[in-house]
């Protein structure tokens, strides 16, 4: 979160003030205070990376095990005092080549999202009411592509746990956006680096919908951890999507002009 960049620790008074900003109507509890402290530390440790460019493969699998792959490039820009910006460009196969998705995440209010469809030669705005829909037929929803911002959730510390030998914090994060497709997310964070290792997504009926796992982490610029494999499993349909990063470069010189809506139609 950008507005809280300088916060390292939160006393009870600060936590209460933040809970009011986030719309909470009940007094803050110890679990909420601890959850917010942990989430704030996670955000703080991932500030200052600037921009990045990644080459990724998207593997789609249906319930019968049939699969298809897509190759794409992801450009990201850190934005001061707001959410980050991202531009995803599909390069293969031919039927999706040139398709582009532009995301402007926001700390407050709905994200701005656009999808360029080269076959129609038009830019489609993604309505905030449709943010729970699937992104390009994958198990990732449009809202899953937003940057992590503290204002988007209220937090509760649940417990400590261990995953694959790593000690973790387990947090419940509840979306503040009424248009979210999720009632809650349960997040396992590494205690040592505050890296997400697993996220469970619960649908509007409070049933487990999907699980996202993060593996093959690599550290960049001696500080920033990025998972090179992200696997999303849909428990209700049996479908899955795996995103694999083959190359990632930071501080490439990208700026705001590279993430404007009017650039989408010029992508080749």
CATH number at 146 reads 2.50.20.10
Count of structural domains, the chain: 1
Please provide the average confidence, as pLDDT, over all residues in the chain: 91
66 belongs to a structural domain: yes
Is 68 a domain residue?
A: yes
The verdict on residue 252 lying in a domain is yes
Within a domain: residue 34?
no
Q: Which residue range forms the structural domain that includes residue 193?
A: 51-266
What pTM, to 2 d.p., does this model score?
A: 0.87
With bands split at pLDDT 50, 70 and 90, how would you rate the model's confidence at 8?
A: very low
Q: What pLDDT sits at residue 255?
A: 95
Residue 17 domain flag: no
pLDDT score for 13: 44
Residue 85 domain-assigned (yes or no): yes
Q: Flag whether 77 is in a domain.
A: yes
Whether residue 18 lies inside any domain: the answer is no
- pLDDT tens-digit map of 69-110: 999 999 999 999 999 999 999 999 999 999 999 999 999 889
pLDDT for residue 265: 82
Which burial class, exposed, middle or buried, applies to 36 when counting CB atoms under 10 A from its CB (0-12, 13-18, 19+)?
buried
* Nearest residue to 50 via CA among 225, 204, 191, 250: 250
């Amino acid at each position: 979160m950008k507005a809280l960049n300088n916060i390292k620790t939160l006393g009870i008074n600060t936590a209460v003030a933040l809970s009011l900003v986030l719309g909470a109507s009940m007094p803050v509890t110890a679990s909420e205070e601890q959850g917010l402290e942990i989430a704030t530390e996670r955000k703080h440790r991932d500030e200052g990376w600037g921009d990045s460019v990644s080459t990724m493969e998207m593997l789609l699998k249906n319930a019968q095990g049939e699969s298809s792959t897509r190759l794409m490039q992801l450009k990201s820009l850190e934005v001061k005092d707001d959410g980050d910006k991202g531009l995803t460009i599909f390069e293969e196969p031919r039927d999706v080549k040139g398709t582009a998705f532009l995301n402007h995440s926001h700390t407050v209010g709905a994200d701005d999202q656009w999808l360029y469809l080269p076959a129609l030669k038009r830019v489609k705005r993604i309505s905030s009411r449709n943010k729970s829909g699937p992104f390009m037929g994958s198990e990732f929803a449009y809202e899953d592509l937003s940057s992590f911002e503290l204002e988007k959730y209220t937090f509760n510390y649940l417990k400590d746990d261990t995953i694959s030998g790593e000690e973790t914090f387990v947090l419940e994060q509840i979306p503040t956006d009424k248009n979210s497709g999720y009632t809650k997310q349960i997040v396992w964070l590494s205690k040592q680096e505050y890296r997400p290792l697993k996220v469970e997504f619960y649908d509007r009926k409070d049933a487990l919908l999907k699980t996202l796992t993060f593996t093959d982490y690599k550290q960049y610029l001696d500080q920033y951890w990025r998972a090179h494999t992200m696997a999303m499993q849909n428990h209700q349909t049996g479908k899955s999507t795996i995103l694999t990063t083959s190359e990632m470069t930071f501080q490439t010189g990208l700026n705001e002009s590279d993430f404007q809506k009017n650039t989408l139609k010029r992508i080749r």
